Amino acid sequence: MVSKEKKRFKPFASSAALKTVMTSHFTELAGAAADNKQKIAWCTSVGPAELLRAMGFLVFFPENHAAMLGAGKRAANYIPAANREGYSPDICSYLTSDIGAFITGETPITRMDPNIKGVPLPDVLIYNTNQCRDVKDWFMWYARKLQVPCYGIESFANVDTVTEDHVRAVSAQIRGLVPLLEAITGETLDPERLKEAVDLSRQCSELWKKVLETGANTPSPITFFDGTIHMGPAVIARGTRAPVDYYTLLLSELTERTREGISAVPGEKIRLYWEGMPIWGKLREMSELFMDLEISVVASTYCNSWIYTALDPDDPFDSMARAYTELFIVRSDKAKEREILGMTEKYGVHGIVFHDAKTCPSNSNTRYGMPGRLKAASGIPSVTISGDLNDLRLFSQEQTVTKIEAFAEQIEARR
């Protein structure tokens, strides 16, 4: 399968710029860790990164680091070290692999640049529980271990409609972080810098949305698997100029590919939607499997999770609160189903792949009847594959291939 995929895949010219953005991010953090001239904050993926940028922090995202451990197929080497600390193998494997790697003293980022000696240690840890409780437990471990302050936002869960009450409650908590962070930087928040960071984050979101929306074209010039790689700048650098420049470049390449009819999956026959976490250590294998079956996975919940179009530079605190609460993972099943049905229609998909990730119940939506309700509402078929984001011991490639092949046959038979 590998050689077949290599022959057919047309690499993105933008990938060189992507590598530069990612490497620069970690090199800059390594510099700050070495000379102590700039404070470093660790932040959860939907923590208030815009506020941290505006207050002069460089920002490191442990979830991104954990995904790198997964993508390098190293996570299972580290998870047992976290288990020995009392963190169960059944909880988030981002948490267990990241903490385990820290205990082991290994990180893939040292391979990006010889100046990087290890993960850049934090001056403060900032979380938002809007995605799950695990992120707080994860950060609290580091707070105890490194003796650094850990603050956060206690968010809502299962939100159907986001109301002004939700926004006010979250906004007040974000504002409450300001004096705590000022005590660390020794500087007062400049409202103009906050406005600028929110504006850049909004621009990043708008561009990333347009990048993903090129997948609505037939054939699609991009797949979910491409998206998991290209989303890097939106994950690690929102609130700065770098992702804005990167997505301007990528969007132009995708627009050109669309104009030329270049398909991410040559011979695209079936279009699917991916629901749930990626299986980081199997991205290549999964991408090749779908390519060989001429299936394009044209859209996903996961890649869309870095679109925060509610951000408004003229109303930074409330709009951050709204953007973080409108996020898919925070919402009720009813709201999630509305979102998925809208996406499947917009992208013209023939079916849904649900990934039931063993250690991430928060981002696995198959466990309470959702696939059946979607089928009843729209007739759209789905298949559920069992696996995990990082712990490959929980994933069976053979079973997955069999399920996906059978699902493709089922879809073909319906057409």
Cα gap 38→52, rounded to integer Å: 12
Segment holding 264, helix H or strand E: none
Contact assessment for residue 156 and residue 166, using Cβ atoms and an 8 Å cutoff: yes
Which of 127-135, 176-184, 304-312, 331-339 is the region at the interface with ligand SF4 (rule: CB under 6 A)?
Answer: 127-135
Considering beta carbons, is residue 76 or 116 the nearer one to ligand SF4? 76
Cα gap 122→139, rounded to integer Å: 11
Considering beta carbons, is residue 64 or 214 the nearer one to ligand SF4? 64
Cα gap 107→117, rounded to integer Å: 9
Window 349-368: residues binding ligand SF4 (CB under 6 A): 360, 362-363
Give yes or no for residue 246 binding ligand SF4 (CB under 6 A).
no
Considering the complex, what minimum distance in angstroms separates the CB of residue 28 from ligand SF4?
Answer: 24
**x-or-dash pattern for ligand SF4, window 261-300, by CB under 6 A?**
----------------x-----------------------
Contact assessment for residue 173 and residue 153, using Cβ atoms and an 8 Å cutoff: yes
Give the pairing of strands 295-300 and 150-153.
Answer: unpaired
Cα gap 115→11, rounded to integer Å: 29
Considering the complex, what minimum distance in angstroms separates the CB of residue 49 from ligand SF4?
Answer: 16
Non-local (6+) Cβ contacts of 186 within 8 A are none
Give yes or no for residue 132 binding ligand SF4 (CB under 6 A).
yes
Give yes or no for residue 407 binding ligand SF4 (CB under 6 A).
no
Residue type, position 74, single letter: R
| Chain position carrying tokens 């600390």 | 85
Considering beta carbons, is residue 132 or 383 the nearer one to ligand SF4? 132
Considering beta carbons, is residue 134 or 326 the nearer one to ligand SF4? 134
Considering beta carbons, is residue 58 or 91 the nearer one to ligand SF4? 91
Considering beta carbons, is residue 203 or 228 the nearer one to ligand SF4? 228
Considering beta carbons, is residue 47 or 316 the nearer one to ligand SF4? 47
Q: Of 106, 16, 372, 64, which is closest to residue 231 (Cα–Cα)?
A: 64
Beta strands in 44-182 (DSSP E): 58-60, 124-128, 150-153
Window 65-124: residues binding ligand SF4 (CB under 6 A): 92, 94
Considering beta carbons, is residue 92 or 349 the nearer one to ligand SF4? 92
Q: How long, in residues, is the chain?
A: 415
Q: Which of 40, 101, 374, 389 binds ligand SF4 (CB under 6 A)?
A: 389
Question: Is the alpha carbon torsion for 307, 26, 47, 134 positive or negative?
Answer: positive
Q: Which of 131, 214, 258, 325 binds ligand SF4 (CB under 6 A)?
A: 131
Total number of residues binding ligand SF4 (CB under 6 A)?
12
The greatest distance separating any two alpha carbons of the chain, rounded to the nearest whole angstrom, comes to: 65
Q: Which of 135, 153, 167, 411 binds ligand SF4 (CB under 6 A)?
A: 135
Window 5-44: residues binding ligand SF4 (CB under 6 A): none
Residue 172: CB atoms within 10 A of its CB come to 13
Residues that bind ligand SF4 (CB under 6 A): 63, 92, 94, 131-132, 134-135, 277, 360, 362-363, 389
